[in-house]
Copies of this chain bind each other. A is one copy, B any other.
Amino acid sequence: MEDVADRAGVSRALVSLVMRESPKVSNRSRAAVLTAAGELGYRPNLMARNLASRSTDMVGVMLNDLLNPFFAEIAEGILDAAAERDVRVLFNTGSRSTLSEQRAVENLLELRTEGIILVGTQLSAGYVEQVAGEVPVLVVGRTVPTAECDTVNNDECIGSRLAVKHLIGLGHTDIAHIDGGHGAGAPARRATYIETMATHDLAAVGRVFPGGFTERSGHDAASAMLDDGPLPTALFAANDLCAVGALSRFGDTGVDVPGRISIVGYDNIALAAMHHIGLTTIHQPRFEMGRLALETLLQRVDNPSASAVHHVVAPSIVVRTTTAPPP
């Protein structure tokens, strides 16, 4: 920086002002500094700047898993909003191990990011709470019962109700559900399924099959369903992967979808949109959720003492080709 100042014939402070795009610099000196910097290949050192200014304009984002496109779209939303607000985003991921997730968060903490967004992480509630004590934390895609942190989630109840009502509207009465196990949102989806069925005087009893959030679990649950006696005419699966698993199982067995059985998933992952698959599913506005997450976090950074805010966004249904009236 000193070299740049000398070359431009000004003081270091002035160079600093120019680099920070301060308006209180004459055009003449600005130009001089800029060309000097260019010639010298000068690049400001963020470490030094942040240390001196006691602020970083950086937020950290912990992604549970880079492999999951579901999280990735949220990340895109975060980035989009961050660009507008002129904050830098640093990503980190834990590769599905809780320990390395913690290390990644520690890293962000040591870098003194202004806040941290946790998307789909499996960190323990206790740990999240501890982190939230040090820096504003926002959790998306999961509710953290105890912690003092903001959250952004989709409304599982609205989504599940949308799914079940779509099937009922089509004329189905025998609608099964494949359970999502311990997956985030799974309990709410199951509960809403049962509740919605009851509201319409339909029996959900004996129609909940144990499953999970994977293709395999959907496949297995469909097998169980096939063995279990009369096949339902419709199926609401815990998520898209699970739905596709069931879809292949039925395909292999010659059970026509949607002719013999209709299927609805949840999440609207890219897979669901594939021509080959065309899964009717529930869409979460992930991009918007990412934007909302960043905006909310930034607000919290400005006002750390406000009480936690919990955003719940409404999902919508995307009707494709796996649902039709019952045979």
Contact = CB atoms under 8 A, between A and B. Distances in A.
A59 to B, nearest CB: 12
Given A67-B76, A72-B66, A43 B109 contact: yes
A93 interface: yes
A91 B91 contact: yes
Chain B CB within 10 A, most for which of A63, A109, A251, A275: A275
B75 A44 contact: no
A89 B63 CA distance: 13
Nearest to A273: B215
A80 interface: yes
Interface in A51-105: 51, 56, 63, 66-67, 69, 71-73, 75-76, 79-80, 83, 88-93, 95, 100
A48 interface: yes
A252 B91 CA distance: 41
Contact of A66 (B44, B66, B270): B66
A46 interface: yes
A244 interface: yes
Contact of A112 (B45, B90, B112): B45
B76 A95 contact: yes
A219 interface: yes
A43 to B, nearest CB: 6
B41 A51 contact: no
Given A45-B51, A76-B95, A83 B110 contact: no
A252 B88 CA distance: 46
B83 A100 contact: yes
A222 to B, nearest CB: 11
A196 to B, nearest CB: 28
Contact of A251 (B43, B134, B276): B276
B134 A43 contact: yes
A107 B83 CA distance: 12
A50 interface: yes
Contacts of A76: 66-67, 95
In the complex, the 4 A-B pairs of residues with the closest C-beta atoms, listed nearest first: A248-B276, A91-B91, A66-B72, A46-B110
Interface of A: 41, 43-48, 50-51, 56, 63, 66-67, 69, 71-73, 75-76, 79-80, 83, 88-93, 95, 100, 106-107, 109-112, 134, 215, 219, 244-245, 247-249, 251-252, 270-271, 274-277
26 contacts: A41-B134, A43-B110, A44-B110, A45-B51, A46-B107, A46-B110, A46-B111, A47-B47, A47-B56, A47-B111, A47-B112, A48-B51, A66-B71, A66-B72, A66-B91, A67-B69, A72-B72, A75-B93, A80-B95, A83-B100, A88-B107, A215-B274, A245-B275, A248-B274, A248-B275, A248-B276
